[in-house]
Chains A and B, each alone.
Chain A
Amino acid sequence: MALLEVEHLTVTYGNVHAVRDVSLKLEPGEILGVVGESGSGKSTLGYAVTKLLRSPGQISAGRVLFEGQDLVPMAERELRKKRWKDIAVVMQSGMNALNPVATIRRQFEDAIMAHSPMSQTKMRERVAEMLQLVNIDARYADNYPHELSGGMKQRVAIALALVLDPKLIIFDEPTTALDVVVQRYIVQNLKMLRKRYNFSALFISHDLGTVLEIADRVAVMYGGKMVEVQAAGELLKNPRHPYTEALLKCFPDPRSEQIEVLGIPGTPPDLADLSPGCPFHPRCAMAMDRCRVETPEYISMGEAGVACHLAAREVEVGQNG
C-alpha cells in the first residue's frame, strides 16, 4: 500500500483555486520532489496534506489517504496523534519556524512529551543525539533561536522533524533562504539522514537543481495543477510537458558548454480564473487551438504522468508504434 495517496485534491482560498484536482502517490521510503514557480501552489499542497492550511484555505474536494486512512474528514483530535509521530514538517525558510521565546531544547522536548513521554535524562540524550545528526554541537540546545545562524536554525528544524522518527516529512523549501554553500551542505546532510532513517518525503522547492539531486521522482506544478510527474533522471533527459522543458532551460547544466539562462516569457495564470483550457497555453510555444478551449487531462502512466494535449498524442503514438 502507498504511504500517501492524494486523490483529486482541490484547495481554495476564497475564490483563489490554489491547488486544482491534484493526485499523487508516495511509496514508503520514497522522496517526491515538487517544483514550480512562485504561486504555483506547492506550499498549499504540502499544508493541505498535513491539514495545516492558513485561513481562509480550505480543502474543497478530494482525499488525502495516509496509510489508507482519509485525513480530510478526520477530527483534529484524532489527527493530533498522527502529527509529528507520523507526519512531520520542515517549513519554508526555517528561520521563523522556531519559537523565539523558547530554548531549542524545549522545542524538542514538547514534541517528545506530547507523543512519547520519556525521562528527563533520556530526553536530554535524545536532543543531543538529534542535534549531532545535523552536525550541531549539543551545547546549543540551551540557546534561543536568535542566537543561531540561519543555516543552523534550518538544520535544527530538520533535526526537530526527525526526532520522533516520522514516516513522512513535508519539506517546504528547506534551503531557499540560505546561501549556496550552506544549501549544498544541508542537501548532503539530508541525503545521509535519508539513508539512515528511511523516511518518505514531499520535497517542495522551486530550485529544480536541488530537487533533481535529492528526489526519486519529481512532480511539476503550474497554476495549481500537476502538469508532469517523472522519475528524476527521466525528467532531466526527457521532459514531456513544454513547461518542464522551459523550466529545465532555466537551470542550465553547469557542465555544458553554453550556459544560457532563459526565463519563461509571460506571467503565471490568475488562480481565480476557472475558464477551461490548459493553464500554460498563453506562454506555451507549442500551443494548439485545442489547448485554449479544452483542459488537458492528467494521464497517469504508472510512476509517471503528464497533463498536456501534445504530450498525450506523443504518448499514444509511442504506445501504438
Chain B
Amino acid sequence: MRYLVRRGIMLLLTLWSAITLNFLLPRLMPGNPAEVMLAKFKGKGNMSPQAIHAIKVMLGLNNESLWQQYLQYWHEIFHWNFGVSYTYFPFSVTHEIAQALPWTLVLIGVTTVMSFVIGTGLGIAAAWKRGSLLDSSVTSIFTFTSSFPYFWFALICIFLLGFETTVFPNSGGFAATMNPGFNMAFIGSAVYHSILPAFTILVSSLGGWQLQMRNNMIAALNEDYVVLARAKGLPERTLAILYAARNAILPNMTSFAMSLGFVVSGAILVELVFSYPGMGNLLYSAVSNEDFPLMQGIFLMIVVCVVLANFAADVINVFLDPRVRRGGGEA
C-alpha cells in the first residue's frame, strides 16, 4: 500500500505540472495567442463577457500579475471552463469535447480492449501450441497484417466495402438523416457505421499484441519455473495459465494501460479516413484552424488521461506482480 500512496503522490505531482505547463505555454509563445484569438473572434459575432474572460484567463491576456492569472486559470479549470471554440463558434470547448468524446471512447476504447484481449489470447495459444497449424497460420497472418500501412488498408476497405459494394457506409458516425438521440434506431445506425472502422483498427492492431504475447510466452515457457512445473506433473492448464501466461503477460499490461490512456486522443488517422465525429477529428480541425482554446482543452484532456492511465498501470502491476507489491526491489 505504501507503494500505491507513493505512486498517488507522483500522480498528483505529474498532473499539477502538466496543467501548469498548459498554463505557461501560451504565455511563452511568441506573439500573443489571446490577442490573436480575440481579433479572430471579432469577425464571428458577439461574444459574451464571460467567454472573453475565459479566453483571456486561459491564454493569458491580463493586466494582473502572473500569480493572479494562475489562480484564475485554476478556477476556470475546476469549472470545466476552457473558453469558446473558434472553429465551432459559438459553442464552448467543453461542449465540443463532450460531443466528440463518447464516439471516440466507444469506438477506440472498445477496439483497444478487444484487440488486447483477442491478441493476447491468440498469442498464448500460439506459443503453447508452438509449431502447430494454429500457430503457424495465426502468426504468419498477423505478421502480414501488422505490416500494412493503416491508411492504405483502410482506404482499400472503404473502396471495396463502401463504394464497390455498399455493404457498409463509407464515412460518418451515424446516418446523416438522423438526429443523435438515445433510441434504438440511432444506436443501430451508430453501430452499423462503426463496424468498418472497428474492423480496420482490429486488423492493424491485433497483430502487435499477438506477436508480443507469443514472444513473451515462448520466453516464459523456457523459464526454469515452467520446466519445474512440468516436472511437478501439473495439469496442462495450470502450467499454461498460472505458470507461463501469468508471468508472460506482465510486461504487456503496462503497454495496454498506456494505450488505454491514448484512447482519448482518438486514432486521428482512423477518424480522418472515416470522417468519424470523434476526438481525433476534433483535434485535427483545432490544429488546422489554429483554434487555440480548443487545442488547449483537448491537450489538457489527453494529458490527464495519459497520466491517469499510467497510474492505472501501476495499480494493475501491484495486483499482478508481487515483486512490485512489497517493496518493489527487482521490478
Measured between beta carbons, the chain A residues less than 8 angstroms from B246 are 99, 101
A82, A91, A99: the one contacting B233 at CB < 8 Å is A82
Cβ of B323: which chain A residues have Cβ within 8 Å of it?
Answer: 100, 144, 146
Closest to A114 in B: B234
Task: Provide the residues of chain A in CB contact with B329, threshold 8 Å.
Answer: 146
Q: A101 contacts which chain B residues (CB < 8 A)? A: 246-247, 250, 320-322
Judge if B232 is at the interface, Cβ distance under 8 Å: yes
Cα distance A88–B230 when bound, in Å? 10
Provide the main secondary structure of the chain B interface: helix
Assembly CA distance A99 to B224 (angstroms): 9
Residue of B with least CB distance to A81 = B233
B178 within 8 A of A: no
Query: Which residues of chain B in 190-247 are interfacial with respect to chain A, using CB atoms and an 8 Å cutoff?
Result: 222-225, 227-235, 238, 242-243, 246-247
Contact partner, B231, options A84, A96, A98, A115, Cβ 8 Å = A84
Chain A CB within 8 A of B75 CB: no
A52 and B227 in contact, given A144-B323, A147-B326 (Cβ under 8 angstroms): yes
Q: Does B330 contact A (CB under 8 A)?
A: yes
Take A146-B329, A147-B326 as given contacts and tell me if A115 and B233 are in contact as well, using a CB distance cutoff of 8 Å. yes
The answer to whether B225 and A97 touch across the interface, beta carbons within 8 angstroms, is: yes
Task: Say yes or no: B233 contacts A83, CB within 8 Å.
Answer: yes
Task: Report the contact-size class of chain A (Cβ under 8 Å from the partner).
Answer: 20 to 34
Q: Are B322 and A97 in contact (CB under 8 A)?
A: no
Q: Are B232 and A54 in contact (CB under 8 A)?
A: no
> Contacts of A92 on B, CB cut-off 8 Å?
224
A2-27: CB near B (< 8 Å → 1, else 0) gives: 00000000000000000000000000
Partner of A98, one of B225, B250, B321, B326: B225
Q: Residue A89 at the B interface, CB < 8 A? A: yes
Q: Is A84's CB under 8 angstroms from B233's CB?
A: yes
Chain A residues engaging chain B, CB cutoff 8 angstroms: 47, 50, 52, 54, 79-85, 87-89, 91-93, 96-102, 110-111, 114-115, 144, 146-147
A-B contact pairs, 13 of them (CB 8 A): A52-B227, A83-B230, A83-B232, A84-B232, A96-B224, A100-B225, A101-B321, A111-B233, A114-B234, A114-B238, A115-B233, A144-B323, A147-B326
> What residues make up the interface of B, taking CB atoms closer than 8 Å to A?
222-225, 227-235, 238, 242-243, 246-247, 250, 320-323, 326, 329-330
